[in-house]
Amino acid sequence: MQVYRAFLKILKKNLPAVSIYFFIFMGLTIAFSRSGNENSKTQFEQEKLTLCIINQDDGGLGKDLKDYLSTLHKLKNIKNDKETLQDALYNRQVDYILYIPNDFTEKMNQGITSEVLRTIKIPGGTAGFFIDTQVEQYLSTLKLYLKADYAKEQAVKQAKKDLSVQTKVTVPNGEEVSELEPAFYYFNYLPYIFICITIMGLGPILMAFQKKEISDRNNCSSMSLKNKNMQITIGCITFVTFCLIIFMFLAGIMYSDFVFSINGLLSFINAGIFILIALAMTFLFAQFAKNENILNMGCNTIGLGLSFLGGIFVPHEIMGDKVLQVARFTPTYWYVIANEKIQGIKSFAHLPKEVLISFGLEAAFAISIFSIGLIITKRKQDAK
Amino acid sequence: MNSVVKIDNLVKRYKDLLALDHFSLDIKEGEIFGLLGPNGSGKTTTINCILSLLSFDKGSVEVLGKEMNPQRYDIKRDIGVVFQNVAVFNELTVYDNINYFCGLYIKDKAKRKEYVEDAISFTGLEEFRKFYPKKLSGGLLRRLNIACGIAHKPKLIIMDEPTVAVDPQSRNKILEGIKELNEKGATILYTSHYMEEVEQICTRIAIMDRGKNLAMGTKEELKRMIKTGETIEIEVYQLNETQQKEIKELPHVIDVKYDEHQLKINCSGGKHNLVRILDYLQEKEIAFGRVYSQLPTLNDVFLEITGKELRD
């Protein structure tokens, strides 16, 4: 096992560089999986702001407006003093100050809605526009009912009723939110890490063995080519197995409930197949890479390219149809599909066929990429 | 003596380029056989064909009495190669590199350890065993390259220009080492475009150019193949054409050249050539300075056979 031992020695020499990648990616994955969890609200909730309303109207409609706004926002009582009010706005104690003048009801009855109120807002802030729109909506609706000869109380009631109609907003996020969500993100980012770590960890070793001078010297030796290739293959498998174990071990520590469930087992299989794809890609890429700079470049291009295109960093739901059509030709797409479907599985009996199809397609990708690498190696040999 | 390498009518083409043109060679056991030729003459291609690293279009290659092919691992066991370019792992130390390449031939751990130590001591790398190749000087790197090629104690050692870009001190050490390996029983095929090296260590030499074997023999035999037996160079301050003609008519003189006060006379083998020429110059009262006389070199042989210098 001379070649295998040399393989491990070279790997050991490269390990500090790989470890840096490992820790950076690990940190990012954990951060992403946490932020992914926090940002994964699937329901829209209206923002509430802090308002100060100075109501000087004695006709009643001012009070109704105040009541209406209190259902949408938080109201704060502040002394009606110019300086105190300005300070409150400056110190962000309130986001908006609304003056309802004493002739407000009178003007509304006359059908005047423009410039009947006075407001003070934070300059450049969006909060002012938001409340302006709501106040304007209320006044327009109320005016409509008053013009239609509704009694004052009835008009207010109808206006409030109309404006209470809400549209349900659902943010597209694929599956339902579940307790397993952090683990989903952890497993979703794994392909990117696998691609980078295998290219950076195994690429330099494969390149060293494929260097013309070394390869010639190896081929001149009394050890058969088959034996040498087998030992290099065992070396590669050792590395990817080690990586897989490490990442599963960490997943086990962070998301133990998930990892020791049927979902964890299927995620492990999904990751296991994908790391073979990463290995095949490294094998293929090492045939072309002439030096470590090209290896670095390839690592970033392939890793980021496949991650963005396949839906690792960007959910499929917000990707365009044409992009998705192209994405189907990437292994990362099928990995993500499998990962999404795995989250909802409760038992093997309910295993969706999409998961098995994705596994099969991923394996087909691994075999195809590896075969292309072998054909290129054979052609290089034949060219001699 | 048995043939260690026997090449018969080898033809190798790279598309339209004929790299080896019916090239034949027979290296006997115990020889240091020199393959001399300018860059691009086909030396490395010949070596790669011997090692089955390259396929060839026609001819045959026998090594240690057996026909060579990529699967003849039994033959490969007895071959050591030192390539022109340093072939070591930059990620392994000096010791690990030698141990790795030796391990491709020697499975027995204890024996391998002994062989690795021998190779380290033979190449004088004792102090550098824990060094990585990038920390070694050019000369030391070449020595490591040699150690990796010879550690398994092969019967046939093929060295492809092992002294390229090496300082004179390291070069001498390498050449002495090659002689020592030969004395210990190894047959050596040595390629170079440095004629001095080949002349210094090789017992038999083949001169090749454009894929052809132009001449083969010991250095004395090669030198006898050409007309020039002695080259005399004299610093002469003034010499007219009549005098040049008269010198050319002297016995054994083949050719006379006079350029920038240097008179160069090629003579065929014969005694007293120098005395005869100096007598003529004194008789004609021609003032002269420094005088050199030298026997023909392999460069003269190459020049006469091909019409060009070895390093052209």
pLDDT tens figures, A222-234: 898 889 989 999 9
pLDDT for position B66: 92
Q: Closest approach of chain B CAs to the CA of A205, in angstroms? A: 9
**Domain total of chain B:** 2
Considering only residues B58 and A81, tell me which one the structure prediction assigns the higher pLDDT: B58
Residue B273 lies in a domain: yes
Could you list the residue range(s) of the whole structural domain that residue B267 is in?
A: 230-295
pLDDT for position B132: 94
Residue A172 lies in a domain: no
Mean pLDDT across A198-214:
89
Considering only residues A175 and A363, tell me which one the structure prediction assigns the higher pLDDT: A363
Q: Closest approach of chain A CAs to the CA of B86, in angstroms? A: 7
Residue A169 lies in a domain: no
Convert the pLDDT of each residue in A250-300 to its tens digit.
888 888 888 888 888 999 999 999 999 999 999 998 888 888 888 888 888
pLDDT for position A8: 93
Q: Do B219 and B250 lie in a common domain?
A: no
Domain boundary, last residue among B224, B253, B280: B224
| Closest listed residue to residue B35, CA positions, set B298, B221, B312 | B298
Cβ contact A155:A146 at 8 Å: yes
Q: Say what the pTM is.
A: 0.72
Chain A CB contacts of B148 under 8 Å are 217
Q: Do A354 and A375 lie in a common domain?
A: yes
Chain B CB contacts of A201 under 8 Å are none
Q: Which tokens is A76 given?
A: 């704060």
Q: Do B73 and B188 lie in a common domain?
A: yes
pLDDT-above-90 percentage for chain A: 22
The pair phi, psi for residue A371, each rounded to 5°, is -65, -40
Could you list the residue range(s) of the whole structural domain that residue A261 is in?
A: 2-41+178-383
Q: Which tokens is A380 given?
A: 């290089």
Q: Do A54 and A36 lie in a common domain?
A: no
Residue A225 lies in a domain: yes
Mutation to test the B interface, candidates A7, A13, A200, A222, most B Cβ within 10 Å: A222
Domain boundary, last residue among B191, B224, B257: B224
CATH number of the domain encompassing residue B259: 3.30.70.100
Residue B300 lies in a domain: no
Neighbours of A351 (CB within 10 A): 15
Q: Do A222 and A273 lie in a common domain?
A: yes
Chain-chain contact of A217 with B87 (C-beta, under 8 angstroms)? yes
Chain B CB contacts of A7 under 8 Å are none
Chain-chain contact of A214 with B87 (C-beta, under 8 angstroms)? yes
What length is written for chain A?
384
Q: Do A135 and A183 lie in a common domain?
A: no
Chain-chain contact of A6 with B79 (C-beta, under 8 angstroms)? no
Convert the pLDDT of each residue in A163-195 to its tens digit.
887 666 655 554 444 444 678 888 888 898 899
Q: Do B204 and B102 lie in a common domain?
A: yes
B100 touches chain A (CB under 8 A): yes
Mean pLDDT across A116-125:
80
pLDDT at A347 over 70: yes
Mutation to test the A interface, candidates B50, B53, B84, B159, most A Cβ within 10 Å: B53
Neighbours of A150 (CB within 10 A): 16
**Domain total of chain A:** 2
Distance CA A205, CA B249 (A): 70
Q: Do B192 and B279 lie in a common domain?
A: no
Q: Do B153 and B234 lie in a common domain?
A: no
Domain boundary, last residue among A130, A163, A196: A163
| Closest listed residue to residue A2, CA positions, set B184, B116, B209, B195 | B116
Cβ contact A183:A251 at 8 Å: yes
DSSP 8-state code for residue A176: P
Distance CA B26, CA A96 (A): 102
Which chain A residue's Cα is nearest to B15? A383
pLDDT for position A36: 56
Q: Do B88 and B191 lie in a common domain?
A: yes
Q: Closest approach of chain B CAs to the CA of A215, in angstroms? A: 9
Tens place of pLDDT per residue across chain B (312 aa) = 688 999 999 999 988 889 999 999 999 999 999 998 888 889 999 999 999 999 899 999 999 999 998 889 999 999 999 998 899 999 999 999 999 999 999 989 999 999 999 999 988 899 999 999 999 988 889 999 999 999 999 999 999 888 887 788 878 888 888 898 899 899 999 998 888 888 889 999 998 988 999 889 998 888 888 888 888 999 998 889 999 999 999 988 988 999 989 999 988 877 788 899 999 999 999 999 999 988 888 888 888 887 776 654
Work out the burial of residue A77: count CB atoms within 10 Å of its CB; fewer than 13 is exposed, 13-18 middle, 19 or more buried.
Answer: exposed
Interface of A with B (CB under 8 A): 2-3, 5-6, 9-10, 13-14, 204, 208, 211-214, 216-225, 384
Q: Which tokens is B265 given?
A: 């006379």
pLDDT band (50, 70, 90) for residue A33: low
Q: Do B286 and B173 lie in a common domain?
A: no
Q: Which tokens is A314 given?
A: 């960007």
Chain A CB contacts of B76 under 8 Å are 220-222
CATH number of the domain encompassing residue A70: 3.40.1710.10
Instruction: Give the burial string for B150-186 (b: 16+ CB within 10 Å, else e).
Output: bbbbbbbbbbbbbbeebeeebbebbbebbeebbeeeb
Chain B CB contacts of A223 under 8 Å are 73, 104-105
Q: Which tokens is B147 given?
A: 């150690």
pLDDT at A357 over 90: yes
Q: Do B36 and B103 lie in a common domain?
A: yes
Q: Do A37 and A54 lie in a common domain?
A: no
Q: Do A249 and A370 lie in a common domain?
A: yes
Distance CA A39, CA A195 (A): 26
| Closest listed residue to residue A282, CA positions, set A235, A334, A325 | A235
Chain A CB contacts of B92 under 8 Å are 6, 9-10, 13
Domain boundary, last residue among A129, A163, A197: A163
Nearest to B89 among A6, A212, A221 (CB): A6
| Residue pairs between chains A and B whose CB atoms are closer than 8 Å | 72
Which chain B residue's Cα is nearest to A11? B91
Q: Do A157 and A285 lie in a common domain?
A: no
Mean pLDDT across A78-95:
84
Mean pLDDT across A80-105:
86
Q: Are strands B288-294 and B230-236 parallel, antiparallel or unpaired?
A: antiparallel
Distance CA B16, CA B24 (A): 21
Chain A CB contacts of B86 under 8 Å are 213
pLDDT for position B80: 93
Q: What is the largest CA-CA distance in chain B?
A: 77
Convert the pLDDT of each residue in A34-68 to its tens digit.
665 554 455 555 678 888 988 888 778 888 888 88
Distance CA A298, CA B27 (A): 48
